[in-house]
Amino acid sequence: MTGTSPPDRYKGVWLIFFILGLGTLLPWNFFMNATQYFTDRLKEDASVDRLNNLNTTASPFDKASHLSHSKANATEKTVDPPSHLVGIFNNMMTLCAMLPLLIFTCLNSFIHHRIPQQVRILCSLVAIFLVFMLTAILVKVPMEPLAFFIITMVKIVFINSFGAILQGSLFGLAGLLPASYTAPIMSGQGLAGTFAALAMICAITSGSKLEDSAFGYFITACVVILMAIGSYILLPRLDFFRYYSMKDKTEYRVHEKHSEMETKVDLIKKDEPNGVEVKDTINGASHAAQPNSSVLSIFKKIWVMAASVCFVFTVTIGVFPSVTVATVSTVAPNTLWGAKYFIPVSCFLMFNIFDWAGRSLTAVCMWPGKDSRLLPFMVIARVVFIPLFMLCNVQPRKNLPVLFAHDAWYIIFMVFFSFSNGYLASLCMCFGPKKVLSHEAETAGTIMAFFLSLGLALGAIFSFLFKYVI
């Protein structure tokens, strides 16, 4: 095998990893956007006016999108309290999403050597596709609220279980390639959020029915997953990818051959009183036996990057969207902007656009370096965004004063908050697999994916505390 890699013609491998990153998160983003559809199915026999009594975790734009419908029918039915299933839906959705995500990402770190990468990725994509096809079909099927609730929670568990295996496997696969090839996965995930946010705003603007919007979300997700499946099947046909995947296997076999040879020499040394010095048959130098790589030994090499990506997402999910979505516009609270578009645009769209920009920037700029102490310092410095958002006009509030009431403050904080999230998280995910040997890169990638998921779970837990403090 030559030492010079073939070119990535037409950026084919880069584009495939971008599509795979898009396919990893776009389905789940659309699923979350359809939260109001799910809760509506759980309370379909209650009054439309029950929107006034929704769980406080429901987002303001969800309520605003049905404001006109509620007023038109306010006199037709009596006011009913929200059902128990509606009240627990958001918390149960978070629980059923985060626990499988964390558990299966951890599991993937240990099974990826036993189950072929092709099986893990393709089976995960096919499973997620089937779940979303079922979800799209059920949009048109009448169902009792309890049965619908149970089926929805089971689907959430399946989506996030297979999504965890898919994400961990993709980052492990990207770890075999140059560091810049983790960036397209992160960029694709960032675009997924932006695309979903734009779809949400379009649905609000068009005034389309919840059922129609949800059906469109799920069918679009199915199309994207099919694109991801086709792209992944094409990947092994590209010379650039084949070079690095075979390079990893070749270096691993050389490493194993050296270890085997040195083990035999050690046995000979025991019988030779004067000992035997072994020369490496490749370069003539003395060669010491290397122990087999374990998950723990690899983690010791990348723990700074792993802890950094975990902390990035702990801070991000700690306030977004639980705190940021509760912010109320002070510039024009009673206008169309304040009532319907402030949160979809200033919170979701702004976050996803600048998060995507930050992730994409790592394709051309990777500063500071992987061994720089400045990188973990910049990660820790993001903790300042927690009090900044808590001191914006978040409502309701009991303890803290409002120091940054104007909408402009909120938007400025959101720009730097989202850009730093995308840029620093992408840097950490790129650098992690590059701090180990080539044959350890896939394991390093799956470990990094686990700590990313751990950060999401910790952020979800801390979000309850931050909301309570306000």
Q: What is the pLDDT of residues 180-224, one digit of tens each?
A: 788 888 888 888 888 888 888 888 888 778 788 888 889 988 999
Q: How many CA atoms lie within 13 A of 346 on its CB side?
A: 26
Q: What is the pLDDT of residue 247?
A: 60
- C-alpha to C-alpha distance for 127 and 181, rounded to whole angstroms: 25
Domains present along the chain, CATH in parentheses: 11-237+293-469 (1.20.1250.20)
pLDDT tens-digit map of 299-327: 899 999 999 999 999 999 888 888 888 88
Q: What is the pLDDT of residue 3?
A: 57
Residue in the block written with tokens 């650098």 = 431
| Residue type for position 139 | V
pLDDT, mean over the chain? 79
- C-alpha to C-alpha distance for 468 and 422, rounded to whole angstroms: 27
- C-alpha to C-alpha distance for 202 and 195, rounded to whole angstroms: 11
Count how many residues are written for the chain. 470
- C-alpha to C-alpha distance for 136 and 130, rounded to whole angstroms: 10
Q: What is the Cα Rg of the chain in Å?
A: 25
| % of the chain at pLDDT higher than 90 | 29
Chain-centre distance for alpha carbon 62: 23
Residue 278 has pLDDT above 50, yes or no: no
Q: What is the pLDDT of residue 289?
A: 43
Q: How many CA atoms lie within 13 A of 44 on its CB side?
A: 13
